[in-house]
Amino acid sequence: MLHRRTFLAVLAASATRTVFPNPGYAPSVLAHCSIWLEHFGRGRKPLTDGMEEIFASAAAAGYRGIELTPQFFDGLLASRTARLLETHHLGMPVLNISGVMHIREAADQTIARTLAMVDKSKCCGLKALDFNPAPKPGGERKSDQELAFQSLAVDRLAEELHKRGLRLWIHQQASEMAENARECRHLLIHTDRRLVEFCLDAHDVFRSKLPIMKLLDECGQRLAALHLRNSRHGICLDDLSDGDVDYLSVAGYLRRTGFHGYLTIDLAYDKKTAITRPLVENLRLSRKYAEKTFGIRG
């Protein structure tokens, strides 16, 4: 029989022992192109003049993959994008795209346009679309009928992508988080669980004053990706680091559930953001923070 003091020592040791993640846990880190586009917008620099900088700095910051948007595949830019990805040894597994899905004619156009974009970008290693059903003008509330049609349209797009060997993730922003995540939760409940997955933007969830741990749990095994950035006292930081969003708790949840999707560094700056370093350095530090916090080998 263990002496009481020995028993307490063993108990204390077990409480601090490293808990190994679920064997299926294997997240990948991506950079999102949006922060470069924001950076160029402040300097009134067109994308055509900044493309080399985007891909070169992503590689210099240690990323192996990048999430792009449709303008990278407009006209002659498509071949240039493919060449720069190859030159800088970057993958592009995810394309971030949006379109109206709550109105029949507009949804038909969105689906056709999206599939055409897939045809242009699939050669770059595309695996999934990170898709945002567009909000109504001014953030007006979608009716129950519009939400019902939107879910059907999302299923149609998911089926077409599945035929092409691609996945569909639904990405949520502030409008989907309104009214206790009414739109996001409608899509969770009313879309095909086999074909429609989800990408949560952790900071948008925080700004909507919703409990991220509960939403993660509701997504469950349909959680395919997270967009990551942070703020401190509500002001966006220039890199991903400790702040208002408790990423240690998020990381613990992902470990327990064996998450094997994508963690996308999606920096965004407020007017009050203190930009203290060059963008490439902020991206490098963000990647290092994500790898450390989420237990990823670089």
Is residue 25 over pLDDT 60? yes
Structure-model confidence comparison of residues 132 and 22, the more confident one = 132
> Tokens for 99?
């379109």
Which of 204, 168, 156, 166 lies closest to 183, judged by CA?
Answer: 204
Q: What type of residue sits at position 234?
A: G
The model's pTM is: 0.90
Residue 174 has a pLDDT of: 83
pLDDT in tens, 247-297: 999 999 999 999 999 999 999 999 999 999 999 999 999 999 999 999 997
pLDDT at 277: 96
d(CA 101, CA 258): 32
Q: pLDDT tens digits, residue range 84-125?
A: 999 999 999 999 999 999 999 999 999 999 999 999 999 999
List, in order of start, the domains of the chain with CATH numbers: 25-293 (3.20.20.150)
* pLDDT over 60 (residue 6): no
At residue 43 the predicted structure's pLDDT band, cuts being 50, 70 and 90, is: confident
Structure tokens at 192: 């095909």
pLDDT at residue 10 is higher than 60: no
What's residue 21's pLDDT?
53
Sign of CA dihedral 277, 280, 286, 288: negative
pLDDT band at 215 (very low <50, low <70, confident <90, very high): very high
Cβ 65 vs Cβ 263: under 8 Å: no
pLDDT tier, 22 (very low <50, low <70, confident <90, very high otherwise): confident
Residue 255: phi and psi, rounded to 5, are: -60, -45
